[in-house]
């Protein structure tokens, strides 16, 4: 990957008079030796897999092995059909689709890691829900996904995207930044607005720890996908209104990395601190071990 920072990316957008997704597909075509059309077809396959994960998640109530999670998106669907959400249809769909995808992941269903499996519901829920409600074409959705991919890739040049390395800011936080950028692209924003949306979303999630109860990607991971999908929309809306991050995104990414280094190992996927060590989490852990004790 030749582009190592967002400053370089914006310079390239301006110099070549190209959008972020055009640069992403050109780079992929160059590296793979395939045509841009083939690259876009591959991204379309990812998009279809994301849509399948949402569809499968929406139609299942199957609980996880722990029995703690698996039916929340069904609860949302039932409730919203009776009483619409305060923030309207887009909110209903984004939160429901985020849970549907994350629940598919806990059932070991097929999902697209974007950037990770634990954060798999954020980018798809925003792209799919907004596209349905705003009648955004498949081609524009592919461009949105390419934009999200390049944002994630540039961040991953500096920070390993894993809760074990830098906490959940590097998983769900980065997913939220990617979704923000995708959304601005799909809504017709400029390159600056796309990067600004990603900056606003990432900046406002710095420090998020990774403390999964019993080491399972369930609590708090699943519901966190719904929260950070909505967080992504806030970043996009603000950027589209001309609100700018005072701290440039490259400095935010550096800060994410340093914050991850400063974070206690107890809060980086070890389940030795945070929510994983609450009284209730310890009780859940005990019950889980009793239920799965070898006979």
Residue 243 CA to residue 174 CA, distance in Å, equals: 20
Question: Per CB under 6 A, does 168 bind ligand SF4?
Answer: yes
> Please, which residue, 43 or 217, has the CB nearer to ligand SF4?
217
Among 124, 149, 181, 212, binds ligand SF4 (CB under 6 A): 212
Interface with ligand SF4 by CB under 6 A: which range of 56-64, 150-158, 168-176, 241-249?
168-176
Give min distance, CB of 77 to ligand SF4, in A. 23
* Chain-centroid distance, C-alpha 168: 11
Angle at 228 between CA 227 and CA 233, to 5 degrees: 105
Nearer of residues 188 and 265 to ligand SF4, judged by Cβ = 265
144 binds ligand SF4 (CB under 6 A): no
* Cα separation, 285 vs 290, whole angstroms: 9
Q: Kindly determine how many residues on this chain lie close enough to bind ligand SF4 according to the rule CB under 6 A.
A: 11
Alpha carbon separation from 75 to 83, 133, 252 (Å, rounded): 12, 21, 36
| Site stretch for ligand SF4 (CB under 6 A), options 72-80, 89-97, 180-188, 209-217 | 209-217
Would you count residue 115 as binding ligand SF4 (CB under 6 A)?
no
> Closest approach of Cβ 172 to ligand SF4, in Å?
5
Of the residues 27, 28, 140, 269, which one makes contact with ligand SF4 according to CB under 6 A:
269
103 makes contact with ligand SF4 (CB under 6 A): no
What CA–CA distance (Å, rounded) separates 149 from 231?
A: 18
Helix count (H) and strand count (E) of the chain?
13, 0
Residues 194/160, Cβ–Cβ less than 8 Å: no
The H or E element containing residue 104 is helix 88-106
Strand partners, 210: 268
Kindly list the residues in this chain that would bind ligand SF4 in the complex (CB under 6 A).
118-119, 163, 168, 171-172, 210, 212, 217, 221, 269
């Amino acid at each position: 990957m030749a582009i190592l920072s967002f400053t370089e990316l914006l310079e390239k957008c301006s110099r070549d008079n190209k959008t972020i997704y055009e640069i992403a597909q050109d780079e992929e075509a160059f590296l793979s030796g395939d045509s841009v059309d083939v690259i876009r077809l591959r991204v379309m396959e990812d998009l279809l897999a994301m849509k399948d994960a949402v569809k499968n998640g929406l139609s299942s109530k199957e609980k996880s092995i722990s029995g703690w999670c698996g039916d929340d998106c069904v609860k949302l669907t039932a409730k919203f059909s009776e009483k619409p959400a305060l923030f309207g249809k887009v909110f209903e769909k984004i939160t429901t689709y985020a849970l549907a995808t994350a629940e598919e992941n806990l059932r070991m269903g097929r999902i697209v890691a974007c950037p990770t499996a634990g954060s798999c519901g954020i980018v798809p829920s925003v792209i799919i829900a907004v596209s349905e409600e705003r009648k955004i074409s498949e081609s524009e959705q592919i461009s949105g996904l390419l934009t999200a991919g390049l944002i994630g890739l540039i961040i991953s040049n500096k920070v390993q995207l894993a809760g074990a390395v830098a906490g959940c800011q590097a998983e769900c936080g980065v997913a939220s930044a990617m979704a923000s950028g995708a959304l601005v692209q799909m809504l017709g924003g400029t390159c600056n607005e796309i990067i600004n949306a990603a900056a606003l979303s990432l900046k406002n999630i710095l420090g998020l720890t990774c403390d999964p109860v019993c080491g399972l990607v369930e609590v708090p991971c699943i519901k966190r996908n719904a929260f950070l999908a909505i967080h992504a929309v806030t970043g996009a809306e603000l950027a589209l209104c001309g609100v700018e991050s005072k701290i440039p995104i490259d400095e935010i990414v550096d800060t994410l990395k340093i914050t991850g280094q400063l974070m206690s190992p107890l809060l980086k996927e070890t389940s030795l601190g945070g929510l994983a060590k609450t009284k209730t989490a310890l009780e859940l852990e005990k019950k889980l071990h009793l239920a799965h004790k070898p006979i």
